[in-house]
Structure 1
Amino acid sequence: MMEVLNTSDEVELVLRNTGVTDELLISFVAALKNSLSEVTLVNLNLNHIGPPGVHVLLDLLQAKSEIRGLLLFGNHLGDVGVQILLSGVTDLQEKTAASPRMPTYPRQFYLSQPSFALTELDLGGNGIGSEGLRVLGTFIRYHSQLQYLGLAQTCCSSMEAWYVFFESLKVNSKLTHIILDENNLGDQGVKQFAEALKINESLRKIDLDHNNLGEVGGNALFEALSRSQCSLEHLSLEENYISTALMSKFQQMVKTNDIHSTLKA
């Protein structure tokens, strides 16, 4: 792996389901920081990283400011790890935007420090509860540069916390793809999401598989998308309880007909 890092100009690093723990992450990041390669994406899905490992990842993001994607689905961050991560990402984005590196060589050789901006983040399957979801809502509202956000299998059962998160989407103009699969949002949660879609103009791809969604929530979603200014390219509603008639309406709405549905009786 290190040979690849040392001989490649640009790397997307995939360590999915490789048993990475917080301890292993320390040695891995230390070696990665010494690599001359530009690492643009780090995929650590389905590992064993907890809050201590988040500090190590933030050290990596500071050293490798070219990283744009961080995939952490199926780890053990919990609310504490999410708060640490989002606070650190916010600080890094603000510092690199406000404090460019001062030149130490003649100006013609000066290269400014690249601004750090995380555009792809997957936090699904990390045991995020109500506090973590509220923190994420604040991040999305005020600090996010994300274009892709994965939140599948988020265990939060508080509709109030989901409301805070969905409200943040009303004022976010950067996010284009959101994954909300397997969150048991039900009609109530999807209706809250639908209210955000009436205002949000940036979302292009939405995944809502396996959310116990029925006709009430489905109709609210269809009405919101009908009134929305967003140009939807992809909508996935597999494993819900939506009628064939309503699914046909969704299919007509999505411009590319990129819609997947498995209907339950």
Structure 2
Amino acid sequence: MWLSQSSLMRPEMPEWLEELFQRLSDNDPKLTSLELTHHRIDDRQARMLAKALKDNTSIQVVILSCFHLVDDGAYALASVLGQNAKIQKIQLRDLRISREAVTFFRYLTHMRQLTEFSLRHCQVCPTSAHLLNVLLQNKNLQEVRLVDTQFLNASLADVCQGLQASTSIRRLYIVNANIGSTVDEVKYLAQLLASNDTLEEMYLSENNMGDQGVIQLAEGLLGNQTLQVLDLRSNGIGAEGALAISAVLPQTRSLKRLSIAMNDICDVGASALAEGLNRNGSILEELDLSENNIGEVGACSLANMLLTNTRLRCLNLAFNRVGSTGAAYFANALEHNDTLLRLSLRRNNIDNLGASMFASKLPTMRGLKELVMVNNPIDQEGSTDLLNGLRRNMEIVYLQVGDSKSHHCVLKEIFHWIRLNQAGRRIFRQSNLPVSVWPQMLGRLASDTDVLYHFLSQKPEILEMC
């Protein structure tokens, strides 16, 4: 029997995989990204993939599921990846066996050109954490994502040491990693914040830090001078944690975007944050407090904050039960505040009365550009009031009320006035504009006849100027 042709010696390979191996071997310049996640490869296929990648110089991004890889398959693929000088981004998924994790990390430490590294659904033990520590000190690495990853036996400490020593990492994601199950885990992150001077964005959502963990993290934030974005969504944070963050907001020198969405800070936490935002020194520009049960009392505190705050640009209060009274608080504040640009009041139990009170203030608002009030019990009556207010507001360029077919005509007209504002309707407020401005304006509007007609009907003398 001639075994070289038998399936025993050479099992059948899927056609798509044969084609992929051929393109890799041929160095197809159009193939710059290699993703094998939906199709999980086994050890035999990993060895063939390693062979095809050995001399490849076109692949720059690798996304790989390691679910079926063990021993020699992992070794073959990891060693080839470690020698490739062109790959800039690597994502490893389903790396759940410590032995294989150690194998991959050992070879990836040789990749000095990596700019992004990601782990998903993986386990990190103390041995692999030490190697990951070395990898994180790669001087070209700018983004690290550790998502749905377990850190076994205090291995997070080694990882944080590598992050502390990094002089290049700008963005860090540690998402859904159960951080906070022990007190020390948050302590490592706090130390990282206090000592690292390159980190600009930190995403820690879907962990388990709670109030005590956030208190520790806030202490680390005090010593940080570079962090601009902090994401603490879904971390079991209550009023006490919000109070800790509020206390350090005026003292942070770089933080501009903060998300505490999907926690439970309630009205007490919202009031504390409002106080922190009004202290001298706070430079926060974007705040996401969606799904925090702040209610009318919390809305009142935040609205009062807007009367004096001149830094905040975006405020997300979706899913907070602020009601029509809360909407009225913000409408009154925005009559005087001209720095908040985006406000979301999505699903907040705002009815027609709340829409009407907000609409009555629209003509005198000068700052707000985007307003979201979708998924509230606002029917045609409330939408019509908003439309009437919008007719006399030349600033808002995005307004989302709803998509109900029962008042489709009203929503259509709202969209029409939004288009007019997007086209620059506020120019009519200005007097003594140079004649040269109008031909440029009309030329920009030539493709939108409805908007063009409105401009000419409002200022027919434009035609004489042109």
How far, CA to CA, are the matches of 1:142 and 1:39 in structure 2?
Answer: 23
Within 5 Å, which residues of 2 pair with 1:52-131? Answer: 52-62=127-137, 64-77=138-151, 80-90=154-164, 92-93=165-166, 116-128=167-179, 129-131=182-184
Equivalent residue of 2:123, what SS?
Answer: coil
Structure 2: tracts of 5 or more residues without a match: 1-33, 35-52, 61-83, 323-466
Q: CA distance change for structure 1 residues 249 and 67 in 2, over 3 Å: closer, same or farther?
A: farther
| Equivalent residue for 1:26, pick from 87, 94, 102 | 102
How far, CA to CA, are the matches of 1:167 and 1:233 in structure 2?
Answer: 21
> Is the 2:148–2:175 contact (alpha carbons within 8 Å) kept by the matching residues of 1?
yes
Within 5 Å, which residues of 2 pair with 1:123-162? Answer: 123-128=174-179, 129-157=182-210, 159=212, 161-162=213-214
> Is the 2:109–2:131 contact (alpha carbons within 8 Å) kept by the matching residues of 1?
no
- 2:318 is the counterpart of 1:261: yes
Percent of aligned pairs sharing the same letter: 19
- What TM-score do you get using the length of structure 2 for normalisation? 0.45
- 2:119 is the counterpart of 1:44: yes
> How much has 1:212 moved relative to structure 2?
0.7
Equivalent residue of 1:235, what SS?
Answer: strand
Q: CA distance change for structure 1 residues 261 and 228 in 2, over 3 Å: closer, same or farther?
A: farther
Equivalent residue of 1:220, what SS?
Answer: helix
Aligned residue number for residue 173 of structure 1: 225
Cα deviation per residue 1:169-198 (whole Å; 9 max; x = unaligned)?
122111111111111111111101110112
Q: CA distance change for structure 1 residues 259 and 158 in 2, over 3 Å: closer, same or farther?
A: closer
Q: CA distance change for structure 1 residues 53 and 144 in 2, over 3 Å: closer, same or farther?
A: farther
> Is the 1:184–1:211 contact (alpha carbons within 8 Å) kept by the matching residues of 2?
yes
| Equivalent residue for 1:199, pick from 237, 242, 251 | 251
How far, CA to CA, are the matches of 1:20 and 1:251 in structure 2?
Answer: 48
> Is the 2:233–2:263 contact (alpha carbons within 8 Å) kept by the matching residues of 1?
yes
Q: CA distance change for structure 1 residues 216 and 68 in 2, over 3 Å: closer, same or farther?
A: same
One-letter identity of the residue aligned with 1:14: Q
CA-based RMSD of the aligned residues comes to 2.9
> Is the 1:78–1:127 contact (alpha carbons within 8 Å) kept by the matching residues of 2?
no
Cα deviation per residue 1:80-102 (whole Å; 9 max; x = unaligned)?
12211122333x44xxxxxxxxx
> How much has 1:75 moved relative to structure 2?
0.7
Equivalent residue of 2:264, what SS?
Answer: coil
How far, CA to CA, are the matches of 1:43 and 1:132 in structure 2?
Answer: 20
How far, CA to CA, are the matches of 2:253 and 2:261 in structure 1?
Answer: 22
Structure 1: tracts of 5 or more residues without a match: 94-115
> How much has 1:167 moved relative to structure 2?
1.7
Structure with higher Rg: it is 2
> Is the 2:275–2:305 contact (alpha carbons within 8 Å) kept by the matching residues of 1?
no
One-letter identity of the residue aligned with 2:318: S
One-letter identity of the residue aligned with 1:257: C
Equivalent residue of 1:241, what SS?
Answer: coil
Within 5 Å, which residues of 2 pair with 1:167-246? Answer: 167-243=219-295, 245-246=299-300
How far, CA to CA, are the matches of 2:153 and 2:199 in structure 1?
Answer: 19
Q: How many residues are aligned here?
A: 236
Equivalent residue of 2:114, what SS?
Answer: strand
How far, CA to CA, are the matches of 1:181 and 1:155 in structure 2?
Answer: 10
Q: Relative to structure 2, which stretch is displaced further, 132-141 or 181-190? A: 132-141
- What TM-score do you get using the length of structure 1 for normalisation? 0.75
Q: CA distance change for structure 1 residues 250 and 75 in 2, over 3 Å: closer, same or farther?
A: farther
> How much has 1:134 moved relative to structure 2?
1.6
Q: Relative to structure 2, which stretch is displaced further, 186-195 or 53-62? A: 53-62
Equivalent residue of 1:206, what SS?
Answer: strand
How far, CA to CA, are the matches of 1:191 and 1:207 in structure 2?
Answer: 14
